[in-house]
Amino acid sequence: MTTAPTDTPPAAPQPTADMWAAPTRFAGIAGVAGLALYGIGAALYAGSLDPAHAEEYPGLVRQLLMSWLAGWTFWLCLPMGALALLMIHYLVKTSWGLLLRRPLEAASRTLPLLAVLFVPVVIGAFLHDGQSPYWWSDTHHSGEAHDNDVKAKQEAAAKAAAKEAATGPAPTDRITLKWEERMAAAEGQVHKAHAHEAEARRKGTFSFLSAPSMVGLFVVMFAIWWAMIAYINKQGAVSDAVIGQGTPEEQWVKVDGAREALNKFSGPGLIIFALTTTAASTQWTMSLEAGWASTMFPVIYAVNQFLVAFAFCLVVFLSVSHREPFKSSLRPKFQLDMGSLMLAFTLFWSYTSFSQMMLIWIGNLPEEIPFYLKRSSRGWWAVSAGLIVFHFAVPFLLLLFRDIKLHPYRLRAMACYILVVCAVDVVWWVSPTYDHASPTFVLMDVGAVVGIGGVWGLVFLSILKKRPLLPVNELYYLPEGHSEHH
Q: What is the pLDDT of residues 81-134, one digit of tens each?
A: 999 999 999 999 888 999 999 999 999 999 999 999 999 999 999 988 888 999
Whole-number Å distance between alpha carbons of 480 and 478: 6
Q: 3-class DSSP state for residue 63?
A: helix
| Average of per-residue pLDDT across 384-413 | 95
Lowest mean pLDDT among 41-50, 114-123, 261-270: 41-50
pTM, two decimals, is: 0.86
The pLDDT score that the predictor gives to residue 162 is 56
In angstroms, the CA 305 to CA 290 distance is 24
Q: Which of 145-154, 198-207, 328-337, 468-477 has the weakest average pLDDT? A: 145-154
What pLDDT sits at residue 84? 97
Whether the per-residue pLDDT at 237 is higher than 80: the answer is: yes
Mean pLDDT score of the chain: 84
Q: Please state the domain extents for the chain.
A: 27-147+177-476
Q: If you average pLDDT over each of 52-66, 242-256, 422-436, which comes out highest?
A: 422-436
Please answer whether residues 449 and 22 qualify as being in contact, where contact means their C-beta atoms are separated by less than 8 angstroms.
Answer: no
Q: Running DSSP on this structure, what letter comes out for residue 389? A: I
Q: How confident is the model at residue 486 (pLDDT cuts 50, 70, 90)?
A: very low
Q: What is the mean predicted confidence (pLDDT) over 432-451?
A: 92
Q: Of how many residues is the chain composed?
A: 486
For residues 289-310, give the mean pLDDT: 93
Q: Does position 139 have pLDDT exceeding 70, yes or no?
A: no
Widest distance between CA atoms in the chain: 95
Taking residue 381's Cβ as centre, other Cβ atoms within 10 Å add up to 13
d(Cα 339, Cα 126) in Å, to the nearest integer? 44
Angstrom distance (rounded) from CA 99 to CA 436: 45
